[in-house]
A and B are shown apart, each in its own frame.
Chain A
């Protein structure tokens, strides 16, 4: 079992309330999509979920138990939006992944493990010996995903993980996420601005705006019958529904 619950979470930065009394359930083995505009508090909520951002009010529960501040040691993992900031420039790719392995393992096993994980995200295992500076944006993001998976997390929080990826690799990452979910029963909070992507991976979804969840429910239902005006606006803004102003 691994179920992540946000209970009346409020996060304030000074005068700004980034997340306002949000309750959200990420049921065991399910992918919940979280969509919303820039600055609506998606990333803040995600970071609160892994304890990176302190909450003023509320708690985050893993299987009904509040997550301890220390020593949760990777039970909830996160993959970030910005591939340029998510890897330590002074650390070899392989070492960065090894650092996230749940328990220290023998050198030989370790290398196998890293090679396997890199392969999983469609990277040449030889890249493990490189420093991030040599990798392009997309390659870095794939390393970051491999690092999160290395910790064998109970819950994975993914913050816009595909927004910097090529469509060709985005497809295989989304396929991978779906496979991890069906085969391993991975529980996941999937933050994305791309409704088509959320529709593809998430069984349930929540729409966030100005720190509040304005709509939540089964993905198919929301996409077909959006209630909130903002959700409707989001649906209208999907790339492909916009005509280019060509001259």
Chain B
């Protein structure tokens, strides 16, 4: 029902729905209210012209034509809907047959459907009308059958798209039969577009049906639909044009009502399903535009300034008060565990939070304050200067279109390139993201790409032009280490050569530490630490430090469980007093639980000298330095911000310190306990 509300919000949607309600209302009510009048024979008034008593005149038996036209709504609509039902049912059966029958038989069905689709619909219709005989039942089947191939093809495409998804594979592995997988997993997921198509289809059925009746092949006396009335009115078109025009107008109105309603719903689904960053106009820029609009200020300047950013959903605040600046060509990493609000932060910056979500605070991009209701100008700014690469590459691509086409479209729409030039650019970008044989690959569909290739193609799409800011949300999460390195190198080189600022969102602290100059660590929607990457080994927040220790390396002790942070991040719906990390923090005390620490500049770089156990800092630091391969450099200094009452104090339970450290007698035991409490129910 959420969808309905959104249909109503668009002008087209309102108009279409109003028309549809009128048509359906007439179909239900008119025969009741006007049925008698439409059937009343008045021999004194045969073939009357329009008058105040009979607005549209009367027919050869003196029956009121307006009443008859209104009453005809029911039969016209019912017949159109029946024909649609036949189309949809047959279409569903034919379209899902390949999923039921398996490869070989399925291909046969698909081939037949493809041939049928190529047949002219009206011809099929006339052909079936002759076979089924003249009459309304015959016509319903004729129109229904003629429409079926189109539905079958649509259904088949949709089914094929859903079949690609891993949950279908998982259901098959679990032993689900083809039929049960179809009913439980596939059909529910294609329902929405099918309903849209059926609504649009009902409009065309109505038109076709009127056509058949008009030709005398549809509804027969004494029944009457609009087509029939038009047929009867045609004889006297010069004497009483209204007699034919009135039903004609109704046909058009009803046809439009169905069609437009379908279109209105389709638009909304499109925005939702293709999730399209492109649909939202957020694509990279035409280099020329960026240069001319912002060319002068291109040197060392702030690209993005985020101030007290919040994201609210009803009852939930997943992002709370984020602030940071980003300079030209700078790489900022946002790390944090699942649900920390990283993705939402990226979306909020790009003004892509969808209602009922609300973005608070300020986002200033290239000097412009962005607003969620920003107009054409803002869309253009975002469209030309900000690019996004997403976490979810499969659903970001349209499954039925070639990869190359989809990349090229970005440049065609936003950079005005010709088809040919855009295609060349797409191939070039695919090559840039190290997809081998890019000419051939560009011709393929997304499902023919491996997960990693899809992700690289997605990055290629973000790089179709040269954006000023690139937001990459987990761009390499699904990639293996060699390709991950290549892709990150690619991002690095773009960043340095073209002075693109980069926000790299990742759950992987090691990766971000290597690739970014600055790191923001998020926890439960808040920034807990903001530090330069070099300072990671001397991170001060207990959360950051524990994360550093949880990463397995080639030196990890195989006999011990890995360090884990016990417990879980609090749900964003829970109101927290005090520090959000307190339930999981080994240093938590009463202050932590009652009052929330604010993000403040770190007190002093050598704060940890006050430690009770001076030794462990050096051990820990060395260890981390080794891990980051920074050994040999001077001890880094933390000049960032941290939100913790006990920043930089030693962690009592730390297990990853050198076992020889005399200050940690029971370290291994404690890790084990921690792990058990986490994993064992």
Interface residues of A, Cβ cutoff 8 Å to B: 13, 35-40, 43, 47, 50-52, 70-74, 76-78, 80-82, 84-91, 96, 99-100, 116, 119-120, 122-124, 136-139, 144, 147-148, 151, 160, 163-172, 174-176, 178-179, 193-197, 199-200, 223, 233-234, 237-247
Q: What separation, in Å, do the CA atoms of A64 and B357 have in the docked complex?
A: 55
Q: Does B188 contact A (CB under 8 A)?
A: yes
Q: Given contacts A169-B564, A240-B514, could you give 17 more A-B pairs where the C-beta distance is less than 8 Å?
A: A50-B169, A71-B175, A82-B478, A86-B166, A88-B167, A88-B171, A91-B167, A99-B174, A137-B392, A171-B550, A175-B679, A196-B552, A196-B554, A200-B556, A200-B562, A239-B510, A242-B514
Q: What are the interface flags for B504-537 relative to A under an 8 Å C-beta threshold, 1 for contact and 0 otherwise?
A: 0001111101110100000000000000011000
Provided the pairs A74-B174, A196-B556 are in contact, do residues A86 and B167 lie with their beta carbons within 8 angstroms? yes
Evaluate contact between B450 and A91: CB separation under 8 angstroms.
no
Specify which of B169, B173, B483, B508 is in contact with A74 (CB 8 Å cutoff).
B173
* Nearest-neighbor residue (CB-CB) of B487 within chain A: A38
Evaluate contact between B508 and A178: CB separation under 8 angstroms.
no
Evaluate contact between A167 and B509: CB separation under 8 angstroms.
yes
Evaluate contact between A166 and B337: CB separation under 8 angstroms.
yes
Within the complex, the shortest CB–CB distance from A170 to chain B, in Å, comes to 7
Interchain Cβ contacts under 8 Å between A and B, 8 examples: A36-B480, A52-B173, A80-B169, A85-B167, A86-B170, A88-B165, A116-B681, A243-B629
Q: Does B568 contact A (CB under 8 A)?
A: yes
Evaluate contact between A37 and B482: CB separation under 8 angstroms.
yes
Q: Does B563 contact A (CB under 8 A)?
A: yes
Within the complex, the shortest CB–CB distance from A106 to chain B, in Å, comes to 19
Within the complex, the shortest CB–CB distance from B669 to chain A, in Å, comes to 15
Sort A-B residue pairs by CB-CB distance and give the 3 closest, nearest first.
A138-B338, A193-B480, A38-B452
Specify which of B172, B343, B483, B551 is in contact with A167 (CB 8 Å cutoff).
B551
* Nearest-neighbor residue (CB-CB) of A199 within chain B: B554
Evaluate contact between A240 and B480: CB separation under 8 angstroms.
no
Evaluate contact between A38 and B189: CB separation under 8 angstroms.
no
Q: What are the interface flags for B376-418 relative to A under an 8 Å C-beta threshold, 1 for contact and 0 otherwise?
A: 0000000000000001101100000000000000000000000
Within the complex, the shortest CB–CB distance from A105 to chain B, in Å, comes to 15
Q: Does B368 contact A (CB under 8 A)?
A: no
Q: Does B369 contact A (CB under 8 A)?
A: no
Provided the pairs A39-B452, A164-B474 are in contact, do residues A174 and B483 lie with their beta carbons within 8 angstroms? no
Within the complex, the shortest CB–CB distance from A157 to chain B, in Å, comes to 9
Within the complex, the shortest CB–CB distance from B496 to chain A, in Å, comes to 7
Within the complex, the shortest CB–CB distance from A123 to chain B, in Å, comes to 8
Q: What separation, in Å, do the CA atoms of A147 and B175 have in the docked complex?
A: 13
Specify which of B175, B450, B513, B552 is in contact with A73 (CB 8 Å cutoff).
B175
* Nearest-neighbor residue (CB-CB) of A244 within chain B: B514
Interface residues of B, Cβ cutoff 8 Å to A: 164-177, 184-185, 188-189, 336-339, 343, 391-392, 394-395, 448, 450-453, 474, 477-485, 492, 496, 507-511, 513-515, 517, 533-534, 546-547, 550-554, 556, 558, 561-565, 568, 571, 627-629, 675, 678-679, 681
Q: What separation, in Å, do the CA atoms of A51 and B435 have in the docked complex?
A: 28
Provided the pairs A38-B450, A38-B480, A81-B478 are in contact, do residues A200 and B170 lie with their beta carbons within 8 angstroms? no
Evaluate contact between A172 and B679: CB separation under 8 angstroms.
yes
Specify which of B167, B169, B339, B564 is in contact with A175 (CB 8 Å cutoff).
B564
Provided the pairs A82-B166, A168-B546, A169-B338 are in contact, do residues A90 and B562 lie with their beta carbons within 8 angstroms? no
Evaluate contact between B481 and A239: CB separation under 8 angstroms.
yes
Q: What separation, in Å, do the CA atoms of A167 and B176 have in the docked complex?
A: 34
Q: What separation, in Å, do the CA atoms of A160 and B450 have in the docked complex?
A: 13
Evaluate contact between A84 and B176: CB separation under 8 angstroms.
no
Within the complex, the shortest CB–CB distance from B610 to chain A, in Å, comes to 28
Residues of A within 8 A of B482 (CB): 37-38, 193, 233-234, 237
Evaluate contact between A245 and B675: CB separation under 8 angstroms.
no
Within the complex, the shortest CB–CB distance from A78 to chain B, in Å, comes to 6
Evaluate contact between B547 and A178: CB separation under 8 angstroms.
no
Provided the pairs A38-B452, A39-B452, A243-B629 are in contact, do residues A193 and B481 lie with their beta carbons within 8 angstroms? yes
Provided the pairs A85-B394, A237-B482 are in contact, do residues A176 and B339 lie with their beta carbons within 8 angstroms? no
Q: What separation, in Å, do the CA atoms of A37 and B571 have in the docked complex?
A: 36
Evaluate contact between B517 and A137: CB separation under 8 angstroms.
no
Residues of B within 8 A of A85 (CB): 164-167, 394-395
Evaluate contact between A84 and B675: CB separation under 8 angstroms.
no
Specify which of B478, B481, B533, B563 is in contact with A234 (CB 8 Å cutoff).
B481
Residues of A within 8 A of B338 (CB): 136-139, 165-166, 169
Specify which of B453, B509, B562 is in contact with A171 (CB 8 Å cutoff).
B562
Residues of B within 8 A of A84 (CB): 391-392, 394-395
Provided the pairs A163-B478, A194-B481, A244-B514 are in contact, do residues A238 and B170 lie with their beta carbons within 8 angstroms? no
Q: What separation, in Å, do the CA atoms of A119 and B627 have in the docked complex?
A: 32
Within the complex, the shortest CB–CB distance from B122 to chain A, in Å, comes to 37
Within the complex, the shortest CB–CB distance from A3 to chain B, in Å, comes to 19
Provided the pairs A81-B451, A175-B562, A246-B517 are in contact, do residues A147 and B170 lie with their beta carbons within 8 angstroms? yes
Evaluate contact between B627 and A88: CB separation under 8 angstroms.
no
* Nearest-neighbor residue (CB-CB) of A37 within chain B: B482
* Nearest-neighbor residue (CB-CB) of A196 within chain B: B552
Residues of B within 8 A of A237 (CB): 481-482, 485
Residues of B within 8 A of A165 (CB): 338, 507
* Nearest-neighbor residue (CB-CB) of B681 within chain A: A119
Evaluate contact between A166 and B507: CB separation under 8 angstroms.
yes
Q: What separation, in Å, do the CA atoms of A75 and B155 have in the docked complex?
A: 32
Evaluate contact between A197 and B167: CB separation under 8 angstroms.
no
Residues of A within 8 A of B496 (CB): 245, 247
Residues of A within 8 A of B395 (CB): 84-85
Residues of A within 8 A of B561 (CB): 171, 175, 178
Q: What separation, in Å, do the CA atoms of A52 and B163 have in the docked complex?
A: 11
Evaluate contact between B337 and A168: CB separation under 8 angstroms.
yes
Residues of B within 8 A of A172 (CB): 562, 564, 675, 678-679
Q: What separation, in Å, do the CA atoms of A119 and B177 have in the docked complex?
A: 29
Q: What separation, in Å, do the CA atoms of A38 and B282 have in the docked complex?
A: 28
Residues of B within 8 A of A81 (CB): 451, 478
Evaluate contact between A238 and B483: CB separation under 8 angstroms.
no
Specify which of A43, A168, A193, A240 is in contact with B550 (CB 8 Å cutoff).
A168
* Nearest-neighbor residue (CB-CB) of A242 within chain B: B514
Q: What separation, in Å, do the CA atoms of A242 and B512 have in the docked complex?
A: 12
Within the complex, the shortest CB–CB distance from A79 to chain B, in Å, comes to 8
Provided the pairs A167-B507, A171-B562, A239-B511 are in contact, do residues A38 and B167 lie with their beta carbons within 8 angstroms? no
Within the complex, the shortest CB–CB distance from A104 to chain B, in Å, comes to 12
Q: What separation, in Å, do the CA atoms of A80 and B167 have in the docked complex?
A: 9
Residues of B within 8 A of A43 (CB): 450-451
Q: What separation, in Å, do the CA atoms of A73 and B171 have in the docked complex?
A: 10
Evaluate contact between B170 and A144: CB separation under 8 angstroms.
yes
Evaluate contact between A82 and B568: CB separation under 8 angstroms.
no
Q: What separation, in Å, do the CA atoms of A97 and B80 have in the docked complex?
A: 42
Q: What separation, in Å, do the CA atoms of A13 and B513 have in the docked complex?
A: 39
Specify which of B479, B510, B556 is in contact with A193 (CB 8 Å cutoff).
B479
Residues of A within 8 A of B474 (CB): 137, 164
Residues of A within 8 A of B185 (CB): 88, 90-91
Within the complex, the shortest CB–CB distance from B378 to chain A, in Å, comes to 27
Within the complex, the shortest CB–CB distance from A75 to chain B, in Å, comes to 9
Q: What separation, in Å, do the CA atoms of A161 and B600 have in the docked complex?
A: 37
Residues of A within 8 A of B175 (CB): 71-74
Evaluate contact between B337 and A99: CB separation under 8 angstroms.
no
Evaluate contact between B679 and A138: CB separation under 8 angstroms.
no
Within the complex, the shortest CB–CB distance from B284 to chain A, in Å, comes to 23
Find the residue from A120, A163, A223 having the highest chain B CB count within 10 A: A163
Evaluate contact between A244 and B169: CB separation under 8 angstroms.
no
Specify which of A38, A200, A242 is in contact with B479 (CB 8 Å cutoff).
A38
* Nearest-neighbor residue (CB-CB) of A99 within chain B: B174
Evaluate contact between A80 and B170: CB separation under 8 angstroms.
yes
Evaluate contact between B337 and A73: CB separation under 8 angstroms.
no
Residues of A within 8 A of B339 (CB): 136, 138-139
